[in-house]
Amino acid sequence: MMKIVVVALLDHYKFLVNKMNSALLTEVVKDELTTIKKIIGRECSLELATTSKMLHAGYSLKIDITTPKTEGSALKDTICQFNLSQFPGNCAMMITHETFQPPDYRKRGLSVPVQAMKAKIAKYLNYTILLATTVPGNYNDKVLARAGFKRLDPLCFVSTRTSNRITTWMKVL
């Protein structure tokens, strides 16, 4: 029995490693990148900044969406950054966290394609559920609701570390 489990885990690891590179992920989210290009009026690209395998915790990806600072420039301007990590101990769930959008790119309608991009990447990597947390009342609540996430009311709680009320959101992929 143990041998079967180990082989299954190694096959899953090989499957994910083969699917996690910037070129393949760019192909998965090409429609969203086209939408972002239309919104900002410049070329943009997806960069898989880092990927890591954490023992017993799964995979973590750091993704940057960038554009050249000026036409033909090698210097890049960040449009958005986000992390996607496997929920520790559960290979069916992925968590979206540490999403950052610089002030110059806020309030331009980019959150819709960015949220769609996260869901497509998680689904492409064979996750079933995408999770997120917010502090109630901030802008991210509206963004997640518009992107099809459902608020899990029983999983609202007060953080003992920060005293913030936390809302948990879920999207079935």
pLDDT tens profile 72-111:
777 888 999 999 999 888 889 999 999 999 999 999 999 9
Give pLDDT, residue 2. Answer: 42
Residue 53 has pLDDT above 80, yes or no: no
Residue 118 has pLDDT above 80, yes or no: yes
Give pLDDT, residue 6. Answer: 43
Give pLDDT, residue 129. Answer: 96
Q: How far apart are CA 84 and CA 94, in angstroms?
A: 6
Q: Write down the pTM of the prediction.
A: 0.83
Helix runs in the chain, H state only: 2-19, 22-28, 30-40, 111-124, 139-146
- How far CA 166 is from CA of 96, 97, 172, in Å, comes to 15, 13, 20
Nearest to 107 by CA among 44, 39, 167, 43: 39
Residue 1 has pLDDT above 50, yes or no: no
- Mean pLDDT for the chain overall: 83
Give pLDDT, residue 16. Answer: 54
Of residues 29 and 156, more confidence is placed in: 29
Average pLDDT over residues 48-75: 75
Question: From the CB of residue 142, how many other CB atoms can be counted at a distance below 10 Å?
Answer: 12
Nearest to 71 by CA among 113, 32, 39, 43: 43
| Tens digits of residue pLDDT in 133-170 | 998 888 888 899 999 999 988 778 888 999 988 999 99
Beta bridge partners of 64: 47, 81
Residue 14 has pLDDT above 60, yes or no: no
- How far CA 105 is from CA of 74, 108, 113, in Å, comes to 20, 6, 13
138 exposure class (CB count in 10 Å sphere: 0-12, 13-18, 19+):
exposed
Of residues 167 and 4, more confidence is placed in: 167
